[in-house]
């Protein structure tokens, strides 16, 4: 037979959150679960502390509908500490809530997408791309291919406005493009642990940890002239890709990356390119599905 579990000694105070000996509670305090010390606090202070105790741990357990509603109401509480605690617990419990609320009813009126780098096709081959795309909700789509002959660079199509609006909405809701600036990093992988992936300059102090600060006498070393990593250092550089979105809530979001290509930007490239090459399935018209002539 399993031994009986012993109840914790003393009594629980819902204000300070501690288990205390029974003598620490008055008769009224024992029934109210408030110890003598907490009974001396001002009612407003007791109420705030009990609210904070209730919020604590909510982020890590199941909440029913009424508890979720209560927690969200506390995010608008007049007491700063309660608001902050509720917001923190809610953000842990529902990390995508604010983003989902932001996206509710949101779409894009237009986009401008620039890409200059290598993308991967469905067979895993790298393809150099240097293009600019413009698209708006009226169905006006334009592609500029800077690698094509000058007289063949620009292509314009007029899409069905309904399909264009559907596509622009998918850029917001499925690709989450408005959030790429905060979700994606502009640092790429490097095989050399002594290379700063943002500047691609060798960090000599990591390369030789005991290197004297004055290394002018060392052969092969030059004066440190590494470029800055501040945004101003990228001012005159050409980005690897950039996206400008005109959103239906009146915001314009500009997202630019100078160092790294991302899966998300490649997905957007292929989605846009499909508007201009919808029947490109890798086979010529006079070839069968197995690659041979008809």
Interval 180-215: pLDDT, tens: 998 898 875 444 444 344 443 334 344 344 444 444
61 and 175: one domain?
no
Helix (H, G, I), strand (E, B) or coil at 232: helix
Comparing C-alpha atoms, which of 5, 9, 85 is closest to residue 50? 85
pLDDT in tens, 10-56: 788 888 878 888 777 877 767 788 888 888 889 899 889 889 988 98
Kindly report the CA angle at 147 between 145 and 150, in degrees rounded to 5? 75
What pLDDT was estimated at residue 189? 47
Alpha helices for the chain (secondary structure H):
27-32, 36-39, 43-55, 65-74, 80-93, 97-103, 161-173, 180-183, 204-207, 263-276
163 and 267 inside one domain: yes
Residues 77 and 145 in one domain: no
The predicted structure's pLDDT at residue 46: 87
In a domain, 210, yes or no: no
Q: Does any domain span residue 45?
A: yes
Q: What is the pLDDT of residue 212?
A: 46
In a domain, 118, yes or no: yes
Closest by Cα among 229, 272, 259 to 117:
259
Query: For residue 290, is it within any domain?
Result: no
Distance between CA atoms of 56 and 90, rounded to whole angstroms? Answer: 11
- CA Rg value for the chain: 30
Are 36 and 26 within 8 A, CB to CB?
Answer: yes
The residue range of the domain holding 143 is 108-188+232-276
pLDDT of residue 121: 86
Task: Give me the pLDDT at residue 16, please.
Answer: 84
Q: For residue 152, is it within any domain?
A: yes
Specify whether 124 is located in the same domain as 266.
Answer: yes
> Do 247 and 168 fall within a single domain?
yes
Instruction: Tell me the backbone φ, ψ of residue 193, rounded to 5 degrees.
Output: -65, -10
Last residue of a domain, one of 52, 85, 101: 101
pTM score, two decimals?
0.59
- Is 159 a domain residue? yes
Does 148 share its domain with 92? Answer: no
What gap in Å lies between CA 280 and CA 269, rounded to an integer?
A: 15
- From residue 284, how far is each of 156, 259, 276, 277, 280 by CA, in Å? 23, 36, 16, 13, 9
Both tokens assigned to 41: 């606090």
Domain-located, residue 202: no
Domain holding 127: CATH number? 3.30.1560
Residues 212, 216, 221, 226, CA torsion sign: positive
Last residue of a domain, one of 43, 77, 101: 101
Which pLDDT does position 32 carry in this prediction?
A: 81
Report the alpha-carbon distance of residue 193 to residue 191 in Å, rounded: 6
Residues 78 and 178 in one domain: no
Same domain, 73 and 163: no
CA separation (Å) from 168 to 59, 70, 106, 256, 267?
35, 36, 10, 19, 14
Number of domains, the chain = 2
Residues 6+ apart with CB under 8 A from 228: none
CA distance 231 to 229: 6
Q: Judge contact between 153 and 133, C-beta under 8 A.
A: no
Predicted pLDDT at 221: 42
Last residue of a domain, one of 67, 101, 135: 101
Give yes or no: residues 166 and 73 share one domain. Answer: no
| In a shared domain, residues 170 and 80 | no
Q: How far apart are CA 140 and CA 97, in angstroms?
A: 33
User: Given this model, what pLDDT does residue 10 score?
Assistant: 72
Residues 117 and 141 in one domain: yes
Same domain for 183 and 253, yes or no, is: yes
Query: Which residues are CB-contacts of 153 (< 8 A; sequence separation ≥ 6)?
Result: 144, 145, 146
Each of the 294 residues of the chain gets a pLDDT tens digit; together they read 566 666 656 788 888 878 888 777 877 767 788 888 888 889 899 889 889 988 988 888 898 999 989 998 999 999 999 999 999 998 888 877 878 888 888 999 999 999 999 999 888 889 999 999 999 999 999 999 999 999 999 999 999 999 999 999 999 999 999 999 988 988 754 444 443 444 433 343 443 444 444 444 444 444 444 444 445 555 567 899 999 999 999 999 999 999 999 999 999 999 999 999 876 554 444 444 444 343
């Amino acid at each position: 037979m399993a031994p009986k579990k012993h109840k914790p000694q003393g009594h629980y105070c819902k204000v300070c959150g501690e288990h205390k000996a029974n003598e620490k509670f008055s008769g009224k305090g024992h029934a109210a679960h408030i110890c003598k010390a907490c009974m001396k606090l001002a009612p407003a202070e007791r109420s705030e502390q009990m609210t904070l105790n209730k919020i604590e741990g909510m982020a890590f357990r199941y909440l029913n509908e009424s508890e979720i509603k209560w927690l969200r109401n506390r995010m608008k509480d007049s007491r700063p500490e309660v608001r902050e605690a509720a917001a923190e617990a809610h953000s842990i419990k529902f990390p995508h809530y604010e983003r989902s609320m932001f996206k509710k009813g949101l779409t894009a009126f237009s986009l401008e997408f620039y890409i200059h780098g290598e993308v991967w096709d469905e067979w895993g081959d790298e393809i150099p791309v240097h293009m600019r795309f413009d698209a708006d909700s009226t169905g006006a789509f334009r592609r500029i291919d800077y690698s094509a002959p000058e007289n063949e660079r620009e292509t314009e199509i007029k899409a069905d406005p309904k399909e264009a609006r559907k596509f622009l909405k998918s850029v917001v809701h499925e690709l989450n493009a408005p959030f790429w600036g905060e979700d994606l990093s502009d640092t790429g992988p490097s095989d050399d642990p002594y290379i700063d992936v943002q500047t691609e300059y060798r960090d000599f102090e990591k390369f030789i940890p005991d290197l004297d600060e004055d290394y002018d006498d060392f052969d092969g070393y030059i004066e440190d002239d590494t470029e800055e990593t501040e945004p101003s250092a990228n001012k005159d550089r050409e980005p690897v890709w950039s996206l400008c979105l005109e959103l239906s809530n009146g915001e314009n979001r500009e997202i630019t990356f100078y160092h790294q290509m991302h899966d998300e930007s490649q997905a957007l490239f292929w989605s846009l390119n499909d508007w201009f090459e919808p029947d490109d399935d890798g086979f010529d018209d006079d070839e069968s599905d197995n690659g041979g002539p008809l």
